Amino acid sequence: MKVGILAGGLGSRLSEETDIRPKPMVEIGGMPILWHIMKIYAHYGIKDFAVALGYKGDYIKRWFRDYHGIAGSVTIQTRSGQLTQHADTSVEDWSVDLVETGASTGTGGRIKRLAPWLGDETALVTWGDGVADVDIGKLLEFHRSHGKLATLTAVRPPARYGHLNFDGDMITTFTEKPQIGEGWINGAFFVLEPGVMDYIDGDDTMFEQAPLSRLAADGQLMAYRHTSFWQCMDTMREKQILNDLWAAGKAPWKVWKDERNESAGYRPYGVHRNGADSSPARARA
């Protein structure tokens, strides 16, 4: 089973970051949110990924290339420049297809372009800008139990402000930013059968529009209700929320065990805390 991750959008509402890099590479705790998403799936034994690239896709390719080359232990012969990489169990054992899906392709179009990479079997698909403590094993069990083409993870978004209950003018309860009954929304973390591709017309298709509407109308779309933590990262405020949770050691989506010191994070060559990239490859671009 493979995971398809959409990582090609412009991220215009996070332009302070995305002028420099694509949104899935914006860092939480020193590592791209894309890495956090992949760690969630890997915790459940799913380590084969297909990442749909678009805007600044070269940045994602360079990051994974450098991560492979630098994250583990190496021996360098300084005169010859020969580099020998050594097996390092602290480095993730993943297979990552980095797939060009077009600069302006819609979300549905990106999913359809990933179809050859996902194969003719059940696939997991999600966006590259949101994390959750979704139990992927239970999500898959739910999907297999109903026999429909598609499952989306339904979530209730966290309230932006504290929630008050009153008795007259007296506040009887105050809850700081709860996940309240504001309605269920699409939290991604999809499970899709190959037949879903027939609902996607082409590159311009947005998956959240006609395909999901048609799947629902045909009785082929089911909701896995996730009542615990979920958070997208559309704005700088939401980025700060996630970074604060990580820094405090209270990141609910961190379901994996530490394999190395992740508190400081890992930055490939030339990538600094302020987001600037001074690597030779970047300077020449």
Buried b / exposed e across 148-187, counting CB within 10 Å, b at 16+?
A: bbbbbbbbbebeeeeeeeeeeeeeeeeeeeebeeeebeeb
What confidence tier does 72 reach under pLDDT thresholds 50, 70, 90? Answer: confident
- pLDDT tens, 174-228? 665 555 555 789 999 999 999 999 999 999 999 999 999 999 999 999 999 999 9
Any domain includes 187 = no
Any domain includes 217 = no
Residue with tokens 């079997």: 121
On the question of pLDDT at 125 being above 90, the answer is yes
Any domain includes 86 = yes
Any domain includes 223 = no
- pLDDT tens, 140-185? 999 999 999 999 999 988 766 565 667 776 656 666 555 555 578 9
Number of structural domains the chain divides into: 1
Could you tell me the CATH number of the domain that includes residue 46? Answer: 3.90.550.10
The pTM of this model reads 0.84
Any domain includes 38 = yes
Any domain includes 97 = yes
Q: How far apart, in whole angstroms, are the C-alpha atoms of residue 137 and residue 217? A: 27
Q: How far apart, in whole angstroms, are the C-alpha atoms of residue 33 and residue 230? A: 13
Amino acid in position 128: G
Any domain includes 40 = yes
Q: What are the tokens at 149?
A: 């083409």
Beta bridge partners, 126, equal: 5
Q: Please tell me what DSSP assigns to residue 158.
A: B
pLDDT computed for residue 80 by the predictor: 94
Any domain includes 163 = no
Boundaries of domain holding 234: 3-146+193-203+229-284
